[in-house]
Structure 1
Amino acid sequence: MFDKVNAVINQIIRPKLKEHYGDIELVKVKEGVVEVKLLGACSGCPSAKFTLEDIVLHDLQKEIPEVKEVVLVTEVSQDLIDMAKKILNKEK
């Protein structure tokens, strides 16, 4: 199901988000639960909950009825932590 979800994201959802300078990354699919990260302008946006429900979940369920839920993953990546450490260490 991961590949089917990824195809819907790439073909239908991502173009909609890019119109508003956002993006989306598929993290995991398990038992009908899709985990995603919102990127770009969508990351941390106050309307992220509505984006997930009104766009992501709606479009996924329209194309793949087995999708039950979409969960937003919000943890910071290790790459971002490492980059921040480098920047902070340079300023000392």
Structure 2
Amino acid sequence: MEATIQQIEAVLDANVRPALAEHHGNVMIHSLEDHILKVRLTGKCSGCPAAHSTNEELITAEIRTAFPSILDVILIEEINPELTLMAHKILNHQI
């Protein structure tokens, strides 16, 4: 059975988001292509040192259990553009 974004969202809502909300975080689906789900952690979970463990032990475990057709769940990590700008200003002694 082919997983749909709506079905995955339902599993995230039921089994993943409540745990992330306890840490003031969330997970957003970035894409689903060729049986690979890409997700992004948001809120306080974004950039957390435990983000990879959260992805493997919680998100991937729940998604792969519900949808064996999903081959992998990849965590997309991005640096907040505001933090990058702040770092440049500090390095250039503008702050």
TM range (shorter): 0.7 to 0.9
What are structure 2's unaligned runs of at least 5 residues? 86-95
Q: Identify the residue that residue 66 of structure 2 maps to in structure 1.
A: 63
Aligned position for 1:73: 76
Give the match for residue 6 of structure 1: 9
CA-to-aligned-CA distance 1:56-76 (integer Å, 9 cap, x gap): 000001111111111112235
C-alpha root-mean-square deviation of aligned residues, in Å?
Answer: 1.9
Unaligned runs of 5+ in 1: 85-92
Q: Tell me the TM-score normalized by structure 1.
A: 0.77
Aligned pairs (5 A) from 1:42-61: 42-61=45-64
2:75 and 2:5 mapped to 1: Cα distance? 16
Question: TM-score under structure 2 normalisation?
Answer: 0.74
Please state if 1:39 is matched with 2:46.
Answer: no
Residue type of the partner of 1:2?
I
User: What is the count of residue pairs matched by the alignment?
Assistant: 81
The percentage of aligned residue pairs carrying the same residue is: 29
Deviation string, structure 1 residues 14-54 (Cα, Å, up to 9, x no partner)? 11111121111111111211111101111000110100000
Partner Cα distance (2:33, 2:5) in 1: 8
Distance in 2 separating the partners of 1:62 and 1:43:
24
Query: Runs of 4 or more off by more than 4 Å in structure 1?
Result: none
Match of 2:26 among 23, 26, 33: 23
1:55 and 1:43 map into 2 onto residues whose CA distance is 15
